[in-house]
Amino acid sequence: MYTKGLGFKVLGKFADHDGFDGVILRNPNENYHLEFTHHHGASVGKAPTDDNLLVFYIEDTAAWEQSCAQLESSGFIPVASYNPYWDMHGKTYKDLDGYRVVLQNSEWGV
């Protein structure tokens, strides 16, 4: 979902590292990465609250609209934001585990 929906690239993968499997994803244009892991024998938990967010700021409206469509086509589900602030200039989505991603159509800090 995150590679197709957000354009992340796989930076690395690991299997059975002390009972954990994982994948490391990064946006090739940014200086951060996300790591998704799974512990063998454990069930995947849901997000602790509806206000646990991963927020991406996309200033250009056309690029933002394209990113929203791409997220939806990759399986993210549009939801109303728990905090109405995010619905004013953005859209909130949840992944299959219930974790939320916000695509905000503004520059950071606005």
Examine the domain organization and report whether 78 and 99 are in the same domain. yes
Supply the pLDDT for residue 30.
83
Examine the domain organization and report whether 1 and 16 are in the same domain. yes
As a whole number of angstroms, the distance between CA 21 and CA 17 comes to 6
Examine the domain organization and report whether 36 and 53 are in the same domain. no
pLDDT tens-place values along the chain, 110 residues long: 999 999 999 999 999 999 999 999 998 888 889 999 999 999 877 888 899 999 999 999 999 999 999 999 999 999 999 999 999 999 999 998 899 999 999 998 75
Examine the domain organization and report whether 6 and 54 are in the same domain. no
Range of the domain at 10: 1-43
DSSP 29: T
Examine the domain organization and report whether 33 and 52 are in the same domain. no
Q: What's the domain count of the chain?
A: 2
Examine the domain organization and report whether 23 and 70 are in the same domain. no
| Cβ contact 99:34 at 8 Å | no
Examine the domain organization and report whether 57 and 108 are in the same domain. yes
Query: For residue 51, which of 96, 102, 95 has the smallest C-alpha distance?
Result: 102
